[in-house]
Amino acid sequence: MALKATIFKSRLQITDMDRDYYQAHAITLARHPSETDERMMVRLLAFVRHASETLAFTRGLSTVEEPDLWQHGPAGDIELWIDLGQPDEKRIRKACSQARQVCIYCYSGHSATLWWERLGSRLGNLRNLTVINLPAPASQALAGLAQRNMQLQCTIQDGLLWLGDDERTVEVNPEIWQQAARQSP
């Protein structure tokens, strides 16, 4: 018998001073049996950094054709494609050809650094690609916030992010390894 996803619910209050975005979200996350709390919370953090009414979680690990999160435009085109981890070059190039903006969140410490050293120079010409590394201590601390029912507050200011509950707060200082070129709307 196949293992089922574990459901997590989060009430999330976002105060993003960098984007002037102030909103509450009720989010349901399905954690795949092979997914760790750390990866699930990195997905939640990616949502927070790009939050909008149209950003959505996908089926994630259960399908290779979709990113972890995406945002579609009114015509059905993919405006934003968000992947986690260390995708291969072929997947990244495919995403960049299908979406207006692509963002990859790395979070695996030294292995992420090695991945970027190997691929970074070959991806520099992808003008719609952003690659963000989350320092391992921060992503591991995020896992400590994971609960089946979460009440979380998030503040973003000057690129720094604080995510916490009533008992603890995790500070995340994302490292931008590659920044997509600004595109006009």
- HSE, side-chain direction, 13 A CA sphere, residue 102: 23
Closest CA to 133 of 102, 105, 156: 105
In whole angstroms, give the CA distance from residue 121 to residue 167.
42
- Strand 69-72 versus strand 175-178 pairing type: unpaired
Could you tell me if 174 and 133 are in contact, meaning their C-beta atoms sit under 8 angstroms apart?
A: yes
* CATH T-level topology, domain 6-178: Restriction endonuclease-like alpha-beta roll fold (3.10.640)
Specify the amino acid at residue 10: S
Tens digits of residue pLDDT in 61-81: 556 789 999 999 999 999 999
**Confidence band for 2, pLDDT divided at 50, 70 and 90:** low
Tens digits of residue pLDDT in 86-142: 999 999 999 999 999 999 999 988 999 999 999 999 999 999 999 999 999 999 999
Q: Give, to the nearest 10 degrees, the angle between helix 37-50 and helix 136-143.
A: 100
pLDDT score, position 131: 98
Specify the amino acid at residue 123: L
pTM (2 decimals)? 0.93
